[in-house]
Amino acid sequence: MAGWQTAPQDDLQMAIAEFKSKLPGWWYSLGECQVSCDASCAPTVESEHIHLIERQGDPFDAGFDADLPQPSTLADALRDVMRQALEEIRKRKGN
């Protein structure tokens, strides 16, 4: 089982709460293996940010991805995609 992280993911619930408060109406997914912790996210039609998609195939529409090498956590991966999304939102709003 080389590479697998066996420590509890204690920070994951807090990371999910942060994500939902900062990006309401966004979907996310998480995955973990012996090589990496992964996350993806994107706005849904219920998101206040859906209007920021400029065209189909736009990177904002395709979502944001993280593939963090081990050792990492699911919380790290979720926060990484949240950071990417928030940076892109700021750019598109001109802030």
Chain segment 23-63, per-residue pLDDT in tens: 999 999 999 999 999 999 999 999 999 888 887 777 777 89
- Is the pLDDT confidence value at 1 over 60? no
Q: How much is the pTM? A: 0.89
Say how many CA atoms lie within 13 Å of 34 toward its Cβ.
Answer: 4
Q: Assess whether the previous peptide bond of 43 is cis (omega < 30° from 0).
A: no
72 against 56, higher pLDDT = 72
Confidence at residue 88, expressed as pLDDT on a 0 to 100 scale: 92
- The whole-number pLDDT of residue 60 equals 75
